[in-house]
C-alpha cells in the first residue's frame, strides 16, 4: 500500500443538498476522514435512539485493536461515513448527469425521495451487527444456532422496523421498504426491488452487482487510517467520474487501475489486519469465552428479538469479566488470559496449492489430530484450533473487474468491459488464496501440534514447511502493492522464530 496522505482522503467541501433549507435544519459533526458531515432531520430521528447509539460500543474491527492499538473506531462513525458518502454519490450522479442530459438524453429522474432513501440505507446498513464485528455472526452463532442462516443484514432490516415502531418515526412505508431492499441488496437474502426503474440506486450502498459501493469506500480508508497503514486507493476520483448507463453505474476506462486498487487494498487489509494471525488467535479466545458463557447469560437468544438484541454489544466481555458467578469462571479465565497476553499459540500455516483450490475441503482439528505420529503426548481435538482463511477480491476465484462496465468519455453512450490483458500484464492471474493455520490452546502442545500439522501437509500435498524463513505476509503485501499479486504456494514456518506473522 502506498504512502498515506490525509489531505487526499478528504472530500471536497462542496456539498449538494436536496433543498436550500436542508443545511439550515441539519446538524453537522466533524469526521476524521470526511470532514464535516451534515445530518438531516429525518436521519437524526434514527441516530438519536438507543438502538443506533449502541453502535458506539461496537468496534468496527472486532478484536483487532488488541494488535493494532489505534483500531478502536466504531460502527457508529463508519455508519455516519457511509450515510455521507451515499448522499454524495447520489447527488453527484444527479448533478453531473443532468449537466450532460441535453447531449446524451441521460436524465436519471433522481428525486429528493431517492436521495433520502439512499442516505438512510447507508446510515442503517450496519445497525444489525453483533459484538466484535463479524466474529459474532461467522464464528459464534453457527456453533450455538446449528443450521441457522442468521445474518447481520437481516437483523439490520428487523432493527429498522423496530426503531420506526418503538420511536414512532413518521416515515412512509414505501421509503422503509426501499431502505430495507437496499440494505439487503448485496446479500444472499436480497429482496425483489419494488421500483421498476432506477435500479442503479440499489448499487450505491451495498452493490451486489460488482462490489463497488460506498460501504467499501468508507471502511477501507477508515481502517487503513486507524491501523496506521497507507492507502493509495482514492475513492473521490470514482465518485467524481461515475456515470449511469443502461441503469448501471459505470466508470471511466482510464480509472480501471483505480478500481483495481479498491479490491487490491481490501485484500491487503484482509491479509494484514482482519485475518492477522494474532488477531485471529484473540478472536478464537473471545469466541470460546462467549460459548462458555452462553448457557448462563443466554447470549444467543438475543438475536431472536430486536428489543433485546440492541442491548448486546462489545461490553459483554466486561460483563463476563466482572461477574462473580461461578458459572462464568471458565469464560472469565479465558478473558484473563487475553488481558495477560497468554494467547492461543500460532503453530504454522500454509497456502493451499493453486491446483488443489477447486476441490479444497476445509481442514478440521480432527484432521490434524489424526495426523499425529507416535508421541508421549496425545493430542485432543479440543486443544486444537484450525483456521481456514479465504482471501479474495470479492468474487471468489473470479476477477471482480469482469462484472464492471466502463465508458470512454463523457460524450459516450456505450458501456463495455475491459479484459486484463488490455491494461497490464502485471495484474493478478489468481484472485483467491486459501490459507490454513493451526493454533494450540496449550503452550506445552505447540511442538507436538506443529509436527502433526507438518505430517498432514506431507500426506495431503506432499510438501512440508521449508527450513528457510519465507515471510509470506510480507511477500503477499509486496505483491499486492506492485500489482503483480499471484497466489504464493510456499508453507511458512511458525514456532522456530521464523513465523510469517508476529
Q: Hey, is 48 helix, strand or coil?
A: coil
Q: And the C-alpha cell for 97?
A: 448527469
Three-state helix/strand/coil letters over 143-160: HHCCCCCCCHHHHHHHHH
Are 372 and 452 in contact by the 8 Å Cβ rule? The answer is yes
CA distance 459 to 438: 16
Q: Quick one: which of 242, 247, 241 has its CA closest to 209?
A: 247
Strands annotated E in 264-415? 345-351, 384-392, 406-407
Q: How far is CA 30 from CA 39, 60, 84, 230, 241, in A?
A: 11, 18, 12, 22, 26
Q: Where does 406-445 have alpha helices with state H?
A: none
Who contacts 14 (Cβ-Cβ below 8 Å, separation ≥6)?
none
Q: HSE-up of 247 (CA within 13 Å, CB side)?
A: 7
Identify any residues that bridge with 45 across adjacent strands, giving them in sequence order.
none
CA distance 500 to 502: 7
Residue 307: how many other CB atoms lie within 10 Å: 12
Catalytic residue check, 152 = yes
Q: How far is CA 100 from the centre of its chain?
A: 35
CA distance 275 to 62: 11
Catalytic residue among 73, 78, 96, 152: 152
CA distance 39 to 51: 17
DSSP state of 74: B
Residues recognised as catalytic? 152
Amino acid at each position: 500500500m502506498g504512502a498515506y496522505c490525509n489531505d487526499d482522503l478528504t472530500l471536497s467541501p462542496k456539498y449538494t443538498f436536496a433543498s436550500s433549507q436542508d443545511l439550515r435544519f441539519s446538524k453537522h459533526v466533524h469526521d476524521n476522514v470526511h470532514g464535516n458531515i451534515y445530518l438531516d432531520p429525518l436521519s437524526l430521528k434514527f441516530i438519536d435512539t438507543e438502538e443506533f447509539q449502541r453502535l458506539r460500543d461496537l468496534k468496527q474491527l472486532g478484536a483487532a485493536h488488541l494488535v493494532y492499538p489505534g483500531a478502536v473506531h466504531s460502527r457508529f462513525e463508519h455508519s455516519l461515513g457511509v450515510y455521507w458518502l451515499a448522499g454524495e454519490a447520489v447527488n453527484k450522479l444527479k448533478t453531473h448527469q443532468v449537466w450532460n442530459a441535453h447531449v446524451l438524453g441521460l436524465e436519471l429522474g433522481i428525486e429528493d425521495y431517492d436521495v433520502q432513501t439512499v442516505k438512510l440505507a447507508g446510515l442503517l446498513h450496519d445497525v444489525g451487527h453483533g459484538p466484535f464485528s463479524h466474529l459474532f455472526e461467522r464464528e459464534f452463532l453457527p456453533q450455538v444456532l446449528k443450521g441457522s442462516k442468521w445474518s447481520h443484514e437481516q437483523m439490520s432490516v428487523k432493527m429498522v422496523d423496530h426503531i420506526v415502531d418503538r420511536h414512532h418515526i413518521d416515515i412512509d412505508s414505501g421509503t422503509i421498504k426501499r431502505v430495507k431492499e437496499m440494505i439487503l441488496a448485496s446479500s444472499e437474502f436480497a429482496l425483489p426491488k419494488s421500483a421498476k426503474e432506477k435500479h442503479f440506486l440499489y448499487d450505491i450502498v451495498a452493490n451486489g452487482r460488482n462490489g463497488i459501493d460506498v460501504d467499501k469506500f468508507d471502511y477501507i480508508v477508515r481502517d487503513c487510517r486507524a491501523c496506521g497503514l497507507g492507502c493509495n486507493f482514492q475513492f473521490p476520483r470514482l465518485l467524481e467520474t461515475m456515470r449511469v448507463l443502461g441503469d448501471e453505474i459505470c466508470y471511466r476506462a482510464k480509472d480501471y487501475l483505480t478500481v483495481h486498487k479498491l479490491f487490491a487494498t481490501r485484500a491487503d487489509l484482509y491479509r494484514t489486519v482482519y485475518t492477522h494471525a494474532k488477531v485471529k488467535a484473540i478472536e478464537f479466545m473471545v469466541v470460546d469465552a462467549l460459548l462458555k458463557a452462553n448457557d448462563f447469560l443466554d447470549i444467543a437468544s438475543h438475536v431472536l428479538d430486536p428489543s433485546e438484541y440492541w442491548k448486546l454489544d462489545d461490553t459483554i466481555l466486561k460483563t463476563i469479566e466482572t461477574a462473580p458467578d461461578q458459572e462464568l469462571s471458565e469464560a472469565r479465565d479465558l478473558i484473563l488470559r487475553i488481558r495477560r497476553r497468554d494467547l492461543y499459540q500460532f503453530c504454522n500455516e500454509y497456502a493451499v496449492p493453486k491446483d488443489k483450490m477447486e476441490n479444497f475441503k476445509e481442514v478440521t482439528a480432527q484432521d490434524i489430530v489424526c495426523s499425529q505420529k507416535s508421541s508421549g503426548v496425545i493430542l485432543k481435538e479440543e486443544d486444537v484450533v484450525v483456521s481456514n482463511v479465504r482471501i479474495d477480491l470479492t468474487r471468489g476465484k473470479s476477477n471482480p473487474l469482469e462484472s464492471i462496465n466502463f465508458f470512454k468519455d463523457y460524450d459516450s453512450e456505450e458501456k463495455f468491459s475491459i479484459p486484463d490483458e488490455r491494461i497490464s500484464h502485471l495484474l493478478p492471474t489468481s484472485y483467491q488464496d486459501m490459507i490454513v493455520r493451526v493454533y494450540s490452546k496449550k503452550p506445552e502442545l505447540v511442538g507436538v501440534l506443529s509436527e502433526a500439522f507438518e505430517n498432514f501437509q506431507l500426506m495431503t500435498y506432499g510438501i512440508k514447511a521449508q527450513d528457510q524463513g519465507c515471510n509470506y505476509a510480507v511477500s503477499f503485501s509486496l505483491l499486492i502493492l506492485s500489482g503483480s499479486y499471484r497466489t504464493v504456494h510456499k508453507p511458512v514456518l511458525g514456532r522456530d522464530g521464523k513465523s510469517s506473522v508476529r
